[in-house]
Amino acid sequence: MIIYNVTISVDKTIHDEWFRWMKDVHIPKVMATGFFLEQKMYKVLVDDDSGITYCIQYTCANRADLDEYQREHSPALQKTHTDRYKDKYVAFRTLLEVV
């Protein structure tokens, strides 16, 4: 199993709208691609004046599924997020293997 982990820090000025959009629109679209078995969203417990940080983990069965998702779906989904929130967030992605 592979976990596609997205860590994102969101500016407090857009947090509430961003959070609703992520839960109601973005995450459901990612899951609708059919490549992920489940997803979990965590709030990172850190005191930061500039933003609120979350960790979103998508679990897929294997690396081939993740590679296909990243090739076929990820660029458009990330572009929608970037176009919508521009300079109001910082994100990085990591891959984890369940051992």
Residue-range definition of the domain harbouring residue 61: 2-97
Residue 46: predicted pLDDT: 83
Tokens, residue 91: 């994100």
Residue with tokens 């176009």, as numbered in its chain: 83
Structural domain total, the chain: 1
Q: What is the CATH number of the domain that holds 21?
A: 3.30.70.100
Cα separation of 67 and 56, whole Å? 18
Predicted confidence pLDDT, tens digits, the chain (99 residues): 999 999 999 999 999 999 999 999 999 999 999 999 999 999 999 877 779 999 999 999 999 999 999 999 999 999 999 999 999 999 999 999 999
Q: Which of 5, 70, 9, 69 is nearest to 41 (CA)?
A: 5
Cα separation of 18 and 10, whole Å? 8
Cα separation of 21 and 32, whole Å? 15
The 3-state DSSP class for residue 43 equals strand
pTM of the predicted model as reported, rounded to 2 decimal places = 0.92
| Contact by Cβ (8 Å): 12, 51 | yes
Cα separation of 55 and 63, whole Å? 20
